[in-house]
Amino acid sequence: MRKKIVAGNWKMNKSMDEAMILASEVVHMVKDEVNSDVQVIIAPPALYLTTLQKHTEPVANMGIAAQNCSNKASGAYTGEISASMLKSIGVTHVIIGHSERRQYFNESNEQLAEKVNIVLENGMTPIFCCGESLEQRQGEGFFEFVASQLTEGIFHLSSEDFGKVVIAYEPIWAIGTGLTASSAQAQEMHAYLRGHLASKYGQAIADETSILYGGSCNEKNAEEIFSQPDVDGGLIGGASLKSREFTNIAKSF
């Protein structure tokens, strides 16, 4: 049975004091209100990971994610953070290939494949992101484009390692553009991607892979989106910065 997952990507937001308050509120709400079979993950800025990990650790269905990591194991890479460092402070998940990393930092699928490898080597779970832009969506071949991100980023993995990966589909065209992807559009892409996974790893493994939706998901549309047969939760952006709204999204299954 696939895991139900709601992950909150805080991006570059919140002071330390604000982050402490938000994390504390989320932890208490999740503990009291969210079903234990729903995994809730928060991804604060790297500066706060050590402190906030101590908040989430006592809650069995909570984890903490880094928003990125280096594709290098160690060495003279000023400003970078290695996977082994993240593992050493109790990080459970790492977001790999978020659309903003691809767009603003020119991360290639080859680099992302290296990051996936090093995250797995350190016993953490990669949340591998994929998705198309508005220009691509309005053209032809957007299904194939998103599939190619998976092919080039994670299809080198063995079946055993692939089973440890979570996928997040981000329709970039529906984030901050005023456009909204319908639940039917989300389901259509998720079903296509699951079929693509099955073509490489077989239907059984594809059916066990959690695919999250990451396109302007909020407490008003989460229940409808999460009810789709191939949507297993959400990678939440702005709504994850509000404890009540984020918790309500986690309760939407």
Catalytic option among 98, 100, 132, 190: 98
Question: Is 241 in contact with 221 (CB distance < 8 Å)?
Answer: no
Catalytic option among 107, 170, 190, 219: 170
CA distance 232 to 37: 12
Clarify whether 98 is annotated catalytic: yes
Q: Angle at the Cα of 77 (from 54 to 122), degrees rounded to 5?
A: 45
| Amino acid present at 173 | W
CA distance 243 to 220: 15
Question: Is 9 in contact with 43 (CB distance < 8 Å)?
Answer: yes
Cα distances (angstroms) measured from residue 123 to each of 39, 72, 151, 204 = 17, 16, 22, 23
Clarify whether 28 is annotated catalytic: no
Backbone angles phi, psi at 89, to 5 degrees: -105, 10
CB-CB neighbours of 169 under 10 Å: 25
Question: Is 234 in contact with 213 (CB distance < 8 Å)?
Answer: yes
Question: Is 177 in contact with 213 (CB distance < 8 Å)?
Answer: no
Active-site positions read 98, 170
